[in-house]
Structures are given as structure tokens and as C-alpha cells.
Amino acid sequence: MEEQDAPKQEIPAAHRKRTMFHAFAMFTGYPRAYWYLLFGTLINGTATFVLPFESLYLVSVRHLLVSQASAIVALYGIGSCVSALLGGVLADRIGRRPTILSGLVGLTATTFALACIQETWLIALLTFLMGFWISWYRPASNAVLADLIPQARQAQANSLVYWAYNLGMAASPLLASIIVPYIGYTILFCADGIGTVLFCLLIFLGLPETRPTATRSSMHSVPHLKQAASTSGIWRNGRFLLYTGLSFFLTSIYFQYSSTLPADMQLHGLDAAHYGLVISINGIVVVLLGLPLSHLLTRFAPFKALAVSVLLLGAGFGLTALADSLFSLPLYAGSVLVWTIGEIIFVPVSATIVALLSPTTERGLYQGVARMSWGLSAFAGPLLGGLVLQQWGFALWIGCAVLGTGLAWSFLLLGRVKNRAQLNEEALPSSANALASKLVPSPEMEMYLAKCGKSVLTDGKRKAKTAAS
């Protein structure tokens, strides 16, 4: 007797619906203003041409030495340092919306000027201003996400914005590799400016003021939180300061992608088109793996995830030491693949850690200090990397691998440490809740949420409403 094939079991329709729901859950439940910010970030990422290609432009068109080009690119980091703290403070004082808009307007003017200027000293000045205006608005932009999104979903929201930016960045190098050979760097830099104009327009049309406010009486009723929320309180937050210092070294490794990596490729006989193709792997990998990895990493402690990311980052750049004239292109591609996976982890996790370590009323300030660390590394990383590459060659990439290993252990240890501010918060949860319950959205935010049909009840009002029912 012939055996009959077992009947195929059909997947129940309800199970298929649940699977689809989980797949698209991270795309639902966000306010409309979040999507304006996300699509603006997507456009901005697609039109990011100046920073990744400025080093190649200075070496190949302006005929500067690698160390000179790296020094000019490093001025971007100095500009970031100068404005990051100021931008964060202004985001808390005058609001997120005016801080973002003023920064984007300044960035637009700087980018168009950079496309037209020929003098080397003016290019250096405008590179400084580009870093200045970017770090002027980014702390406010990060604070907007913390204002709009509940804490439980902030990691996913940060990951989605990061994914959108890299979706644009995946196309950016490919577009640049077409524009540069046939049209030139002037049009390339103008395209960057046009992207910033569109981003500014979306923010103007769709982003309300989101800054929460607290009444004076509520601050005086919670003395220890009043002290923690002061500007000087951030300098007593030991865990945050340690995290910021370690992040400086992490991002110093990361910023080699925009300075010494293209210079190293040119030393191996590769040009801007090759760099555009290789660095496009970064955007493609982020687009394909960014959301699945971000969803997976929500199950892990943030500092453990950060340790894994910096190991991958160091190992990826370490692989660059193996590049030679014959097999350089595939090795560069493999290097980018490895450190990109590390980038996928550390960028959204870093933003989440800063939001978790910052008081509600000082989100802009903490984001500004974190951004200042990025600015310092954007200056020191390319500058020191360029000097090491010029003097000792591949020793730079070996150093990245060793530093990444040390940082991984440091983040693991930091994850076990709690500072005095956190111990006070755990010991006095009722005081924290008392202040949080008196935080209210700005009038513009209340009007915006009312239009969207959202509730603007604070935590205290929600509790009162529940008790009454």
C-alpha cells in the first residue's frame, strides 16, 4: 500500500494577521510630527554629499596633502564642539522648533557658499561653520523624539529615524559617483544645500513646539530634583560623564570613515567612484539589517549592546590594514560591512542611553553635551588619524582594533555602575513622580495633539481620571 502524503497544514488566518501586525508594529502609533521629522531626515540623508566627499575633493581637486585635508575636515568637529552645548541649552530655553529652524537656515547658507568658494582658508572656515550649524540643531532634534515618544518606544523610534537617514545615505554615494565624474563637485555640494532646504521646509510645516514645561512651585516642592535639573547638575552625573568620555573614543574610530578611509583608498590607487561604491555598502546594509537588528537588540541591556557594537567597529576598521594594491577593493568592502553592523547597534542605542540618563526638563542640555563629545571626536579622530596614516600607514587600523577591544570592556563595566543621582531617584520615586506629574506640554503641542485626536493628559491627570472612574 502506498503511503499517502501528509496533508499540508494551512497557517491560520489569525496567525498570519498577528505576524503581519508584529512586522509593521514599529511603523504605527507615532504622532504626525514624528513623520515630518523622519521624512526630513530621509531627504537630508539622500543629499549628504559634502562631509563624505570633501576629503577627496581637497586631495584630488585642490591638490592638498592628506594631512592638510584631514586637518580641514577636522574643523567640522571643532564647529560641532562650539555649538553643541549652546544648541542644547537653547532647545530647553527658547524651544525645540526655533532652534532646529535657525540651525537649518544657517546650514543651508553655509553649504551653498562652500559650493562656490575656491580659497582654501575660506573652505576651512565654511567647514567649521557646517559643523557649527549641524550641532546647533541636532540636540533639539533628539530632544523632540524624547518629547514625542513614550520611553518604552524611544529605542524603536530612534532606530527608525536612523534607518530612514541611512536609506537616503545608501543612495547618496551612488548619486555622487555619477555626479562627480560628469558634472563636478560644485553641483554635488549645491545638491546638498537643496536637500537641507527641503528638510527645513518640512520642519516649518509639520513640527510644533514640543518642549515640556514645569511650574516654579512644582520645582520648589521637590528640592533634590530641582538641584538635579540645574545646569550644574549634569557635571555631577558621574555615569553620564563617564559614558560621554568613552563615547568620544568610540566615535573617534567611527569618523575615520569620512577622512582617513577615503585617503587610504586613494593611496591604494582607488578614486572617488570606488569610494562611493564601497561606502554605499554602509547604507545598503543599514537599510537591510537596521530594523531587524534594532528589534533584536531591544532584548539586551543597552551597555552590553554598546560593547558588542564597539568590538565590531574596531574589528571592521582593523580589517583595512589587510588592504593591498591587488585585492584592496573587496577588502575595503568587507571592512565596511563589518563596522556597519557595529554602527547599526551603537547609533540608536547611544541616543537611547542619553535620553535615559537625562532629566525631563534638561533633555536638550544632555543631548548637547553628548553631541559635543561627537564634535570633539569628529575633530580629533580625523586629525590624529590623518597624522598616523601619513607617518605609520596601516598602524592606524591596528590601533582602531585594539582601542575597540578596550572600549568594549569599559562599557561592560560602566553598565554595572550606578551614580549617586540614580540611587537618589530609586530611593525617592514618589518625588520623581511628583515632578513628572506637573510637567505639561507647551500650548502649541496641546493644540497640535488636539487636532490629531491625541490625549494631552499628564501622568497626574491620568491617575486622577482613573481613580474617578
In a domain, 11, yes or no: no
What is the chain's mean pLDDT, rounded? 77
Same domain, 325 and 454: no
* DSSP 3-state of 440: strand
How far CA 468 is from CA of 23, 461, 462, in Å, comes to 37, 11, 10
Give CA angle at 150 (146, 155), nearest 5°. 70
Same domain, 451 and 377: no
Which residue range is the domain that position 457 belongs to? 429-461
Q: Is the pLDDT of residue 302 over 90?
A: no
Same domain, 434 and 302: no
pTM: 0.68
Closest of 65, 151, 62 to residue 355, by C-alpha: 151
Banded pLDDT at 220 (limits 50, 70, 90): very low
Asked if 172 and 283 count as a contact pair (C-beta separation under 8 A), the reply is yes
Q: Which residue has 575633530 as its cell numbers?
A: 379
Assigned C-alpha cell, 229: 535639573
In a domain, 290, yes or no: yes
The per-residue pLDDT for 199 is 94
Phi, psi values for residue 215, rounded to 5°: -70, 150
Q: Which residue has 497626574 as its cell numbers?
A: 460
Same domain, 320 and 434: no
CA distance linking residue 360 with residue 66, whole number of Å: 44
CA distance linking residue 242 with residue 55, whole number of Å: 32
In a domain, 301, yes or no: yes
How much of the chain exceeds pLDDT 90, in percent? 19
The per-residue pLDDT for 464 is 47
The per-residue pLDDT for 401 is 93
In a domain, 26, yes or no: no
* Residues in Cβ contact with 352 at an 8 Å cutoff, skipping those fewer than 6 apart: 154, 155, 158, 302
What Rg do the C-alpha atoms of the chain give, in angstroms?
24
Burial class (CB in 10 A: 0-12, 13-18, 19+), 287: middle
Same domain, 382 and 439: no
Would you list the DSSP string of 124-192?
A: HHHHHHHHHHHHHHHHHHHHHHHHHS-GGGHHHHHHHHHHHHHHHHHHHHHHHHHHHHHT-HHHHHHHH
Assigned C-alpha cell, 312: 565590531
Residue 174, number of CB atoms within 10 A of its CB: 15
Same domain, 163 and 188: yes
Beta bridge partners of 214: 439
Beta bridge partners of 439: 214
Q: What is the mean pLDDT of residues 435-453?
A: 46
Banded pLDDT at 222 (limits 50, 70, 90): very low
Q: Is the pLDDT of residue 188 over 60?
A: yes
Asked if 259 and 409 count as a contact pair (C-beta separation under 8 A), the reply is no
Would you list the DSSP string of 81-129?
A: HHHHHHHHHHHHHT-HHHHHHHHHHHHHHHHHHHHH---HHHHHHHHHH
In a domain, 467, yes or no: no
- Reported as a single tens digit per residue, the pLDDT across 68-118 is 887 888 788 788 788 888 888 898 889 999 999 999 999 999 999 988 888
In a domain, 221, yes or no: no
Assigned C-alpha cell, 175: 548619486
Phi, psi values for residue 3, rounded to 5°: -75, 135
Q: Is the pLDDT of residue 348 over 90?
A: no
Same domain, 273 and 409: yes
- Reported as a single tens digit per residue, the pLDDT across 151-173 is 777 777 888 888 888 788 778 87
Higher pLDDT, 232 or 171: 171
Same domain, 341 and 361: yes
* DSSP 3-state of 446: helix
Fill in the DSSP letter of residue 230: S
Phi, psi values for residue 440, rounded to 5°: -125, 150
Burial class (CB in 10 A: 0-12, 13-18, 19+), 158: buried
- The total number of structural domains in the chain stands at 2
